[in-house]
Structure 1
Amino acid sequence: MLTGKNVLLCVSGGIAVYKACALTSKLTQVGAIVKVVMTEGATKFVTPLTFQSLSREPVYVDTFEEQDATKITHIDVADWADVVIIAPATANIIGKIANGIADDLVSTMLLATTAPVLIAPAMNVHMYDHPAVKANLTKLRSFGYQLLEPSEGYLACGYVGKGRLMEPEDIIVYLEKFFQPKSSVLAEKKVLVTAGPTQEKLDPVRYLTNHSSGKMGYAIAEEAANRGAHVILVSGPTNIQPPANVTFNQVTSAEDMFEKVMAYYNEMDVVVKSAAVADYRPKRVSDQKIKKQPNDLAIEMERTTDILKTLGEQKKHQLLIGFAAESEQLEFYAQDKLKRKNLDMIVGNNIALAGAGFQGDTNIVTIFKKDGTSLLLPLMSKKEVASNLLNEIELLVKENEK
């Protein structure tokens, strides 16, 4: 899969640079053409000559050193790449590219390239967990960058935790899957998935929410991306790391989610709305913390915009799939929602059943279709549910394309 692929390896300054040497060697051995661009910090750990010897290609370090007077290096090499890998990606380079800073050759090339970019972080466990680093990675995922998750283990600083650069062998496997021809009918389709809960603010310290974990939606997004779809994941607040190969959008409230979904909707081929969106929000939001009162407190609520109903009303070419989490009369409520909101399919689950709740890793669902048929899926992992659901969506896509 990698034979003849142009791989631009961006190396920033961390002790894990030695693994970048191994990655360069392995990529070359499997037939990839590797060009390496280094930050000045990276050259303090390994010399450019090492990468040149392993790749048998020029190594680039200085923005103002043009090896060919007929070309502008940072544009020419950026255009050359089929894929860009930042390995190791330090907190510094992550912060630069997340904020559009271009003050060295690596950051300048990353602004110039239109190729897919894979980020492989490597740093101290506390640095990786810092809110600024997390926010920068979230921003980069929203740009479409793909994250190669670091592993846990013994770090060079002596700590044990998450922050080890993904092993070169695993990066090779990831790249092979990345370049594998997509045979699914969803290949190149644009798929939007919503996931997680929403939070409706009451005052500066309180909000109303629900028990949704987001696990089902994240599993659907990952499975769709694995089948070659271009996936947009719009998620409320969760504790889940977004899949590496999706464009991630973090939102908070129902209104935030509505605006983000509608901004993408016209371009989408398939929309899977699995998020548990608040039906109501406080009518008045206090600017100050609401103090404890001696008597009962009444909160006046107002309806939020019904996202799924709006999507159904404005549907043109899109396939629209909804979810119905019910505690009673599952089939009645799911079928009613399917018709009333102009859906093509709805996934119903009885949250009262053991193994089918919000927070667990399993689910029990019934898929109801517009043609009146249904498919019961027994207790299985949410990843298995996602796979079965995507199979049904593929059948609908095929029918629509006849």
Structure 2
Amino acid sequence: MFAGKRILLIIGGGIAAYKALDLIRRLTERGAAVTPVLTRAGAEFVTPLSVAALAGEKVFTELFDLTAEAEMGHIELSRSADLVVVAPATADLMAKMATGQADDLASTLLMATDKRVLIAPAMNVRMWQHPACRRNAATLAADGILQVGPNEGGMACGEYGPGRLAEPLEIVDAIAAALGNGPLRGRRIVVTSGPTHEPIDPVRYIANRSSGAQGAAIGAALAALGAEVIFVTGPAEVPPPAGVEVVAVDTAAEMRAAVHEALPADAAIFAAAVADWRMKTARAEKIKKTPDGLPDLALEENPDILAEVAAGPDRPGLVVGFAAETENVVENATAKRARKGCDWILANDVSPATGIMGGRDNAVTLITDEGAEAWERMGKDAVARRLAERVARALGPVGAA
């Protein structure tokens, strides 16, 4: 898979550094040559000896290694790799990258390289959600830095949320995609996400409850497998994933136009919670309460984007819908799949007792021609990865018979 490829692996400080050892093993058994760089903080969690034993190569730790620097070793290190991977990428390393600091070997290599860089962030949830870290992540994405994770889950500190290092095999998939070897390489996939907001007047709107977390996770998982992802998102609570083409919309009509503009595509995944209705005529001024009673809010149906695309001339080879149900989940979703004309439907029970709508986890049933396949409850990142892998198997390699 990675025969002849050299990966420069920078291991930052943090409890997640232990996963870098497994990552090295996974890469080397797939034929990659791994040149490890261990930061001072990273060496507090894993030893140079263990890293060197797994990589089968010298571990680099210091910028001012006189023997190496006589030949400008840090420049050579940064240029000889096919890809630079930072795992774990700590808040400190991300801040240095975003601001252009170069005060140790790792940050100097990252400044000096002319190769693509992939980061796998890992840190406490509060650190990941801090405005400074969010700004740095946005800066790195704008600079073309690739990103995998972080995932949601329990942490060593006892807290729960986004900030866990992506699993080694996820990072392997992201590396394959960055090197042009992902199973979805050459595939163009449209993903819709988030709610839509249908204006009633300048201060009110009709919407569905959706954070956009599941759609964002799906976009990230597809990109990690090498797909070109056009991510059409309504006003979601979560930021869009890195490594995708983002098209931001507000209304169902805008989403419809953006989806048709993005076609043709190999697949389309409709994870957005599109509002079913909109005002026939949105008011130009704020509606006031009056003694005359309730205002007349005349509604009309929004366009059915999923059904349109499934029946349209530019229909992708694979069309996937979502069905958020509160009762008779499988039966209603099966009927929806037939009615919409899509290939797959992912059904979930979003009744209040499940905590799924806006929550961290999801429990879905995949409905296809072969029947209903219930997936165990898992994090939305894990659901996204499983779906992306199924999409890759369904589409197959580009050009395959």
Category of TM-score, reference length = shorter chain: 0.5 to 0.7
In structure 1, how many angstroms separate the alpha carbons of the residues matched to 2:88 and 2:24? Answer: 13
Q: Distance in 2 between matches of 1:215 and 1:109?
A: 30
1:175-196 deviation per Cα after TM superposition (whole angstroms, max 9, x unaligned): 4555679999756533333234
Does 1:200 find its partner at 2:198?
yes
| Alignment correspondent of 2:371 | 376
Q: How far apart, in 1, do the equivalents of 2:391 and 2:161 lie? A: 38
- In 1, the alpha carbon distance for the partners of 2:149 and 2:90 equals 10
CA spacing shift, 1:17–1:199, aligned 2, 3 Å: same
Structure 2 residue runs of 5 or longer lacking an equivalent are 326-330
* Residue 184 of structure 2 corresponds to residue 189 of structure 1: no
Paired with 2:133 and 2:126, the residues of 1 have a C-alpha distance of 10
Which of 334, 340, 344 is the matching residue for 1:337? Answer: 340
Structural RMSD (CA): 5.9
Number of positions where the alignment pairs a residue of Structure 1 with one of Structure 2: 365
The equivalent of 2:130 in structure 1 is 130
Letter of the structure 1 residue corresponding to residue 129 of structure 2:
D
TM-score (norm 1): 0.60
- The answer to whether the Cα contact below 8 Å between 2:7 and 2:34 also exists between their aligned partners in 1 is yes
Q: Which residue identity lines up with residue 271 of structure 1 in the other structure? A: A
Amino acid of the residue matched to residue 118 of structure 2?
V
Contact 2:186 2:227 in 1 (8 A): yes
CA pair 114-304 structure 1, distance change in 2 beyond 3 A:
farther
Report the secondary structure of 2:86's partner residue. Answer: strand
Would you say the 8 A contact 2:256–2:305 is kept in 1?
Answer: yes
Q: Distance in 2 between matches of 1:259 and 1:84?
A: 37
Structure 1 letter corresponding to 2:227: H
Kept in 2, the 8 Å contact 1:83–1:117? The answer is yes
In the alignment, the residues of structure 1 paired with residue 168 and residue 335 of structure 2 have an alpha-carbon distance, to the nearest angstrom, of 49
Q: Report the Cα offset of residue 321 of structure 1.
A: 0.8
Question: How far apart are the structure 2 equivalents of 1:385 and 1:18?
Answer: 25
2:58 maps to what in 1?
Answer: 56
Q: What does 1:1-400 correspond to in 2, within 5 Å?
A: 6-10=6-10, 16=13, 23=20, 27=24, 32-36=33-37, 56=58, 58-59=60-61, 61=63, 67=69, 77-78=78-79, 80-85=81-86, 87-90=88-91, 93-94=93-94, 101-104=99-102, 106=107, 109=110, 113-123=114-124, 125-134=125-134, 136-137=136-137, 144-149=146-151, 152-153=154-155, 155=157, 160-161=158-159, 172=168, 174-176=170-172, 178=174, 186=184, 189-202=187-200, 206-212=204-210, 217=215, 228-230=225-227, 232=229, 233-236=231-234, 247=244, 249=246, 251=248, 253-254=250-251, 257-258=255-256, 261=259, 264-266=262-264, 268-282=265-279, 283-284=281-282, 292-294=289-291, 295-299=293-297, 307-308=305-306, 311=309, 315-316=313-314, 318-323=316-321, 325=323, 334-338=337-341, 345=343, 347=345, 359=357, 361-364=362-365, 366-367=367-368, 374-377=369-372, 379-381=374-376, 391=390, 394-395=393-394
Per-residue CA deviation, residues 157-216 of structure 1 (Å, 9 max, x unaligned), is xxx53599857xx76555455567999975653333323422335567643211456576
Cα distance in structure 2, aligned partners of 1:306 and 1:119: 37
Structure 1 CA distance, aligned partners of 2:319 and 2:162? Answer: 39
CA distance 1:281–1:96, change in 2 (3 Å):
farther
Q: Is the partner of 2:110 in helix, strand or coil?
A: helix
User: Judging changes above 3 Å, is the alpha-carbon distance between structure 1 residues 83 and 260 closer, same or farther for their aligned structure 2 residues?
Assistant: farther
8 Å CA contact 2:17–2:42 kept in 1: the answer is: no
Task: Provide TM-score, normalisation by structure 2.
Answer: 0.60
- d(CA) in 2 for partners of 1:3 and 1:57? 21
